Structure formats: structure tokens, C-alpha cells
A and B are shown apart, each in its own frame.
Chain A
Amino acid sequence: MVTKSKLKMALAADKGVDFKKLALKKKEKVAKKSKSKKGGDQPKANGKKVEDGWEDVEEESDAGEEAKEAAELIEDESGSDEEEEGVDKPMEIDFAGIDESDSDSSAGENDQENDSEDEEDEEDIPMSDLEDLDDEEREDIIPHQRLTINNTVALTAALKRIALPVSKMSFSEHQSITTSTPVSIPDVSDDLNRELAFYAQSLSAAQEARKLLKAEGIPFTRPTDYFAEMVKADEHMAKIKAKLIDEAAGKKASAEARKQRDLKKFGKQVQVAKLQERDKERKQTLDKIKVLKRKRQGADTEATNEADMFDVALEDETSKPSRKDRQGPNKRAKKDEKFGHGGKKRFKKSGDAMSSGDLSGFSSKKMKGGAKQRPGKARRAGKR
């Protein structure tokens, strides 16, 4: 223990390692090692034995180290002491961590003990303690079913065991690219942005990989005349195409229909507006005609002041007769006047109170011989 470097000591002190306890454990460990070596002469052939070994480890919970060594033993039987020491050394520091996490895995149910030990465990409160909370409060809780198990040391060891020497291999061997900065997705349920982030990540990877592969002289682009079986068969692709076309056609049709609907709605408005305008125009022209008529009849009576004169001049100018105007409404009006327009035609020629009372065609002079007598026949004949 005294031989440890200052840094290590400091670290150990920080973690609160009890050296006496450690020494005790070491002794235990040595004893175990000898035992397991005796027992596990051929651990590979004897699967049952190995399993027993695992169970032992779990039960004893305080000797997390042991698991590592057993694994080491299984892996390579040669298992020289040096290697084992090599594995041991970096772990010594983390004894505390190992112990706790292992006791987690073994203890499982009895949570209360672990709570005070680890920083992370302090966050965990067993559900049984929260039973008496209100419903409203309980809604805010994120329920964690289990307490944390995160055996960092064992995980790194496992990783080391299986890891490919990526840094030593050429890129074409592994073809994996890790982004320089972690991809951050603020809201996972936001589909569009999430997928965009994924896309961007893969795109940058593809670009980088192409560069690297070209540098290594590995063919990247598939030549156009290289035909081979694809992941999706041709008929599947045809289906996709058909679906795309269908979708596009549907979209187009619906857009067309919408346009038509709008036009219809709008068209009605246009028609109404046009009719109204036409009506207005007709009224205006009729008015104009009336005014003109009046002016012609009593030109001197009214058109004395300047404004009226000016008005007349202007009106003359504006109502410069186009051929259509001259013939159009005026003629019609005349005809209507003469022949009648609209209204009931029946009994129009029959006499009524008015016509019988109308004595304009009656003259007493004519009745009283005011009119010259018609000369006699001979006279009339003699005149010729």
C-alpha cells in the first residue's frame, strides 16, 4: 500500500477506500484465485463449472474483481500472472465503484442499503416510499423501475475484449465514421427536424467516406453498366413508382377540383356584378336621353346659366352619336311608344269610360251646319 504513488493515494482517499478492508479483500482474492485455478483447470470444456463460478461471484457481491479474473481465466488459459496484474492495476482505484454496483446487481430488492452509498443512487427512491403521495404529485414523477446498474469498469473491459482496432485498420476495412460533434435533437417528436438531423449526419458521413475511400483507391460509385441483384426487387420498385404516380395524380386532381370550385364560386359573383353594371349603364343612358329631350324642348327656358350651357356642350360632346347609340334605344323607344311594349294586350282597342268621355273629336259647329253643304250632283258634275 505504501508503494502507491501520491496520485493514486489521493484518488483512493477521494473515493474513501478503506485500505485495511482492501488488504483483507486481497487476501481473500488470492485464496479464491488458487481455488479457482484448482477447480477450473479446464473451464472451457466444463461449462457448468463456469456458470457456478458466475453464481459464486454474484452471491459474494463484495468481490467484483473476481468476476473479471474468472473471465480472464476462461478466455485464455495461458493467463500469465503479468496479464492479470495488468488487468488488476487500473481497477484497484475503482474498488469502491465496483463494490457498489455489484452489490446492486446482487441485492436487487433491498434498495434501502444502497441508497446512501452512491451519488447516483441517492436520486433513486423506491416506489414503495412514494405510495402516500398525492395523485397530482405522482404524475410529475418519472418512474424508474429499477435502481441503476452501470458497471463502468466491467463495461470497458468487455469493450476492450471485443473492440476492433479501428484506428489501426484502413478505413475500407470498417467503413465507420463518427461525427465530430454529437447530433443534438431538441425535440424528438418533431418529425421533420429529427429526420433532417439524421439525414445531415448520414450525408456528411457519406461525403467524408467517399473522400477516404477514393484516397484508398476503393471503388465507390457504381458504374451504370453494373447490374446486380438489388435489395428491393424490380417489381417492388415498380410498386413504389406506381404509388408515387398515384399520389401525384391524386394531388393534381384534388388541386384541379379545388380550383374549379373556387372558380364556380367566384364566377357567380362576376356574373352578378356584370348584370348590375349593365343595369346601371342602361339607367344612365336613359337618364341622359331624358335630359337631352328636355333640353331640346325647352332649350332657352333652362339653359341660361353658364354651368348648364357648359353641361350641354359637354353632353353634346360625350353623346356624339356612335352609330349603335343613335339607332339603339331611341328607335326602340319610338317603336315601343307606337306599338306598345309589355303589359296587357287584351281589350286594348275596346272603349272604356275614358274613351267615351273623351269629346275631343266632337264639334258643335260641325253639327250645326257650320260645315259647308256639299253641292248637288249636277253642280259637282258641271264643275268638272
Chain B
Amino acid sequence: MAAVYKSLSKTNGHKEEGPANGVKKNKQRVLILSSRGITYRHRHLLNDLASLLPHSRKDAKLDTKSKLYQLNELAELYNCNNVFFFEARKGKDLYLWISKAPNGPTVKMHMQNCTSFHSHTSQKQPLTQNPVHTMEELHFTGNCLKGSRPILSFDASFDKEPHLRVLKELFLHIFGVPKGARKAKPFIDHVMGFTLADGKIWIRNYQINETEPSKSTAVSSDAEPKPKPSKSSNSKETEISLVEIGPRFVLTPIVIQEGSFGGPILYENKEFVSPNQVRSEIRQKKAGRYNARAEQGIERLAKKGDLGLRTSGGRKAPVNELDTAMLFA
């Protein structure tokens, strides 16, 4: 009887929910997984992100790197409509695939972190060598509820170009926790920033720290010649400051496909230089140094030979009549 009632009430509930909202509900579920061969840093980052996204489902590492379309089936299996996939290459490069599961689009991005925040480690390094920062790192002092819904802060330049708009939409789906998410917590205590700079997307995660408007600031504002009128109106409002929680990372979009892990390519970033190429160029430059030196040596020999300064080979110096060897032979 109870079961019948339950089923009845459930269906009723469903029916009510549908028309009541009118518009489509924001329903997102994210499948989070990685390929084989990720480093511990990548794994930590993945765990951090999974802990920040209560609407996510973490799965075991995917065995294949070539048959990514298998991810679609996996997503269907777990009722996920988003896929968030870390692909590690060569045990150092990390690529992030983001996809809307059944029909796409899919974005492939290169994940890296350019510079660290600490000034004492700010010696410039090539981009590829910089690791990803995870929450484990101890200079992020912020903290937030596990599963609280973030505020997503987008840079206005995301609306400028169609491929960026697609990216923004995908970020909105994946990093935005939908309202009724099962494990979501009721309060809002962190904000995620997505900024476009230098053709890359920089992602930061901050805790919202609310403090009572302290007396010292009040005094200072009094001391200032122009006290703000708005301040007095909502004097009860607490002041907001941000503390970074981490993780932080930088994404370089590489390619956008129409389907989910397949389909024609809609966008390709021509400015992206793969880390492999960067490395190979560095190597070649190093090899080039030796080659240049060897070449120089050969040239010098040839030059000496031309001047007749070598005992064997090259041009012989013309015999001088007045040479001592000729005179006293």
C-alpha cells in the first residue's frame, strides 16, 4: 500500500514540477574521470575539482586514449550530460576535454599553470614546465563548504566570440552547481573566476569572507573628506573580502568539435603550440649549438688551408726565390 502511495505521490510530484517551472530546469550532472598516466598532481587536481562539484560523478581511469567516444556510453550509464575528462600525455602534459555528453559540442584544452603566486618562486620558467596548483598546496588559506554552490564570475570578453561563448556555456554547466543538486549545501561561500587573458582562460577559486564592518574602517571613512552615502544606508551589510581556496589553473583552448568526442571541427586555435613542439625546439636549439661549433671548426680549417698555413692539404704556399731554404740549399 505504502509502495503504491509512494509511486503515486512521486508521479504526482513529477507532474506538478514540470509545468510549474515552465522553463527548462537547470539539470546538470558531470562525469569526471581521467585517462591513465596522470601524475599525482593531476590526480589531486581532479579530486579537488570533484570535491567542489557535488553534481559530479567520479569514475575510474579510462583505459584508452584513442577511443574517447566510449565516454559517451559511460556518461549515459551514469546519467551524466557533461563529461570532464583529463587526458595525460607523456606523464607530463595534461589536456582537458569538456563535453556535453550525447550530442556535443566538445572542447579540448591544454591545462597548465603559468606562474605561481609566491614572489620568491617567480623566476620565469617556460610555460610547459610549470605544474598545476592543487588545493593541497599550502599557500591557499581559504576554505569553503563541501558542496556549496559557487558564484561564477565571467569576464565580459567571453561574449565577444562564438567559440568563447560556447566555452562559457560549458563552464556554466560544469562548474555551476545546479540548484537542486543532491549533495549541494544551502549557503554560498565561494566564487569561481573565469578570466580571459593572453588567449588563455585563467580559473581561480575564492572563498567569500564576510566580516563585520570594523570600527577602524568606519573611523577612516569619517576621517576621509568624502564619506560614502551608500555605506551609511546599508551599514548592516558585512564587508566582503576574498581568500583564495585553490586550485588554480590555466586553460588554452585547442579545438572545438561539434559532436561529443567526435564530429567535425568547428574551431581550432591556431596560436596553440603543443608542448611537444616547444620541447623539441628547445632540444633542437641545444643540438644546433654543437652543430654550429662543429661547422665553425671546419670553416676555420678551410680558411687556414686557403692561406697555405696547413702542412697537409689545402693550397701550397708559392715557393719564394729568396727563401733561406732556397738560397742555401
Contacts and interface: CB of A to CB of B under 8 A. Distances in A.
With most chain B CB atoms within 10 A of its CB, the pick from A54, A71, A150 is A150
A198 B202 contact: yes
A151 B143 contact: no
A155 B163 contact: yes
B277 interface: yes
A148 B143 contact: no
Contacts of B103: 71, 74-75, 161
Given A145-B277, A168-B23, A183 B270 contact: no
Nearest to A150: B267
A220 B188 contact: yes
Interface in A145-203: 145-152, 154-156, 158-159, 161-166, 168-169, 172-183, 185, 188-189, 191-192, 194-195, 197-199, 201-203
With most chain A CB atoms within 10 A of its CB, the pick from B117, B172, B208 is B208
Contacts of A207: 240
Interface in B218-241: 238, 240-241
B155 A178 contact: yes
Contacts of B139: 243
B138 A239 contact: yes
B7 interface: no
Contacts of B23: 165, 168-169
Contacts of B170: 162
Contacts of B100: 162
Given A183-B197, A231-B135, A205 B153 contact: yes
A46 B209 CA distance: 53
A151 B262 contact: no
Interface residue range, chain A: 35 or more
Contacts of B116: 191
B104 A180 contact: no
B8 interface: no
A73 B185 CA distance: 40
Interface string B261-279: 0111111101111100100
Contacts of A220: 187-188
A237 interface: yes
B238 A231 contact: no
B193 interface: yes
A206 B143 contact: no
A292 interface: no
Nearest to B159: A178
Interface stretch (B144-152, B302-310, B319-327): B144-152
A175 B265 contact: no
Nearest to B27: A164
Nearest to A177: B153
Interface string A130-148: 0000000000001111111
Contacts of A188: 114, 197-198, 200
A148 B242 contact: no
A175 B152 contact: yes
A297 B166 CA distance: 111
A291 interface: no
Interface in B116-146: 116-117, 119, 122, 124, 135-136, 138-141, 143-146
A54 B156 contact: no
Given A173-B26, A230-B143, A202 B191 contact: yes
Contacts of A312: none
Nearest to A223: B187
A252 to B, nearest CB: 17
Nearest to A102: B264
B204 interface: yes
B246 to A, nearest CB: 9
A194 B284 CA distance: 33
Contacts of B262: 51, 54
A63 interface: no
B101 to A, nearest CB: 11
Interface string B164-202: 011001101100101100000111110111011110101
Contacts of A142: 271
B166 A155 contact: yes
B74 to A, nearest CB: 15
B313 interface: no
A379 interface: no
Given A51-B262, A191-B115, A176 B152 contact: yes
Nearest to A226: B187
Given A169-B23, A173-B26, A202-B191, A146 B145 contact: no
A144 B272 CA distance: 7
B162 A155 contact: yes
Interface string A229-273: 111100011011001100000000000000000000000000000
A152 B166 CA distance: 11
A67 interface: yes
B52 interface: yes
A209 B169 contact: no
A151 B267 contact: yes
A182 B156 contact: yes
B157 interface: yes
Contacts of A192: 119
Interface in B32-52: 48, 51-52
Nearest to B274: A145
Contacts of A159: 162, 165-166, 169
5 contacts: A75-B103, A145-B277, A179-B156, A182-B155, A213-B188
Given A164-B24, A174-B26, 18 more contacts: A54-B264, A144-B271, A148-B268, A148-B270, A150-B267, A151-B267, A162-B166, A173-B25, A174-B152, A177-B153, A177-B154, A178-B153, A199-B206, A205-B152, A209-B191, A218-B188, A228-B146, A240-B140
Closest 5 CB pairs of A and B: A205-B153, A182-B157, A155-B162, A149-B268, A202-B193
